[in-house]
Chains A and B, each alone.
Chain A
Amino acid sequence: EAAVTQSPRNKVTVTGGNVTLSCRQTNSHNYMYWYRQDTGHGLRLIHYSYGAGNLQIGDVPDGYKATRTTQEDFFLLLELASPSQTSLYFCASSEGIGDTQYFGPGTRLLVL
């Protein structure tokens, strides 16, 4: 059974649209992360959290909000989506911040 799941797997929205990406982990890990993956840029950290109610800013946070509602659930919010946010989004979890990260299957987002 997959330990990190993401939904939806694919999403299409229009410019200015409101999008929420969901991530759930059953690893009982403390840390959860949101990345975007783009050709030529690799994996870039958007936000991360070390527990319910906690949020830390990553390297490319502009245009994104995130919320960690429980130990298991971490959400990424795009309130006014732009075409530049078209990307493949990965969620990951780890026990500690320097530990191995376990990734979900990814969500492919297209903003028209």
Chain B
Amino acid sequence: GDSVTQTEGLVTVTEGLPVKLNCTYQTTYLTIAFFWYVQYLNEAPQVLLRSSTDNKRTEHQGFHATLHKSSSSFHLQKSSAQLSDSALYYCALFFIASSSFSKLVFGQGTSLSVVP
């Protein structure tokens, strides 16, 4: 079936070090867009990144992600993690199955904890 996999439920990283959150997907349909949403404690999810172009790097708020259709991945990275980056991160993909059916699929989320 169509799915988004975030392999780590929890990632802990030391402040100032690089961080990478993994996201892979599986779908047989035409994929249109990929997203990373971030949810800070006691807040609503909000979009962090959006991409629809293969092999193009997308950046926002110090984070970046590159869609690689060859490996079905859209990993999120940051070169230097900050304490304020601690949050829950969701990867999501939007695909079109037919003229009458399209869908946004969320991964299960990765909780990022940045420690001093």
Contact = CB atoms under 8 A, between A and B. Distances in A.
Interface of A: 4, 40-45, 90, 97-98, 100-106
The majority secondary structure among interface residues of chain B is strand
A43 B102 CA distance: 17
Given A42-B108, A98-B96, 11 more contacts: A41-B108, A43-B45, A43-B90, A43-B109, A97-B104, A98-B33, A101-B47, A101-B104, A103-B44, A103-B45, A105-B43
Given A42-B106, A42-B109, A100 B35 contact: yes
Interface of B: 9, 32-33, 35, 43-47, 50, 90, 94, 96, 102, 104, 106-109
Given A105-B43, A106-B44, A100 B108 contact: no
Contacts of A43: 45, 90, 106, 109
Contacts of A106: 44
A38 to B, nearest CB: 10
B44 A98 contact: no
Contacts of B90: 42-43
Nearest to B32: A98
Contacts of B102: 97-98
Contacts of B50: 100
B94 A105 contact: no
A97 B47 contact: no
Nearest to A56: B101
A4 B44 CA distance: 10
